[in-house]
């Protein structure tokens, strides 16, 4: 398909934005306080493959891609988790929303991308197959992401691959 959407976290535009910049299309949304916001950046030649784009909350969006020949349909969730400056209730509400939206989507192939503001360490037990062995350290928000991943039976892709030490 050749479609590589890029995640945008807290885009520096107005509350709702749609723009075409040369060969790229951007869609994004923020709340009325200018906080949060997610969006996607897609090559305009490939927008024909987009079925829909929805801002589900100010922190979660969904990009649905059409089936293209033998390539099945795909849903990409774009997420931006609250930072450690936010109350625990807001973080919990974010994960509850993300889990509900993920479960309600019946596309066979689903991907979640975004900025989760966490540190994920290496796998600690055999049950943590969703976490790879190449994390560096854990923080409290990383624990919450791990719970989400275990509950939804997803995989934390970034910890599956070793990265150069300057990229950690």
pLDDT of amino acid 48:
83
pLDDT of amino acid 144:
93
Strands (E), the chain: 6-9, 16-21, 24-29, 38-43, 50-55, 60-65, 74-80, 109-115
* Beta strands 74-80 and 109-115, pairing class: parallel
pTM: 0.78
Closest residue by Cα to residue 36 from 137, 117, 151, 138: 117
In the chain, which ranges are continuous DSSP H helix? Answer: 88-104, 140-152
Find residue 9's DSSP bridge partners: 38
**Per-residue pLDDT averaged across 65-86, rounded?**
87
pLDDT tens sequence across 12-52? 444 444 444 455 444 445 455 555 578 777 777 777 888 88
pLDDT tens sequence across 92-101? 999 999 999 9
Query: Any idea which of 16-20, 74-78, 86-90, 141-145 has the lowest mean pLDDT?
Result: 16-20
The structure tokens listed for 48 are 């024909």
CA angle 3, 108, 74 (to 5 degrees): 15
Residue 127 pLDDT > 50, yes or no? yes
**Per-residue pLDDT averaged across 110-129, rounded?**
86
pLDDT tens sequence across 129-164? 888 888 888 888 989 999 999 999 998 887 887 877
Contact between 80 and 9 under an 8 Å Cβ cutoff? The reply is yes
Strand order in the sheet with 109-115: 50-55, 60-65, 74-80, 109-115
**Per-residue pLDDT averaged across 50-77, rounded?**
86
Cα distances from 22 to residues 19, 49, 154, in angstroms, run 10, 18, 35
pLDDT of amino acid 5:
52
Other residues' Cβ atoms within 10 Å of the Cβ of residue 54: 12
Q: How confident is the model at residue 166 (pLDDT cuts 50, 70, 90)?
A: low
Residue 74 pLDDT > 70, yes or no? yes
């Amino acid at each position: 398909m050749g479609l590589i959407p890029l995640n945008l976290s807290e885009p520096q535009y107005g509350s709702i934005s749609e723009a075409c910049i040369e060969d790229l299309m951007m869609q994004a949304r923020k709340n009325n306080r200018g906080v949060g916001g997610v969006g996607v950046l897609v090559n305009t030649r490939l927008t024909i493959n987009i079925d829909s784009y929805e801002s589900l909350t100010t922190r979660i969006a969904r990009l649905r891609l059409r089936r293209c020949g033998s390539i099945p349909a795909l849903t990409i969730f774009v997420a931006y988790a609250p930072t450690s400056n936010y109350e625990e209730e807001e973080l919990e509400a974010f994960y509850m929303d993300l889990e509900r939206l993920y479960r309600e989507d019946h596309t066979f192939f689903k991907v979640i991308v975004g900025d989760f503001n966490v540190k994920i360490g290496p796998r600690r037990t055999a049950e943590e197959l969703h976490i790879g062995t190449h994390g560096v350290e854990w923080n409290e928000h990383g624990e919450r992401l791990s719970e989400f991943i275990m509950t939804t039976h997803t995989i934390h892709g970034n910890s599956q691959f070793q990265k150069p030490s300057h990229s950690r």
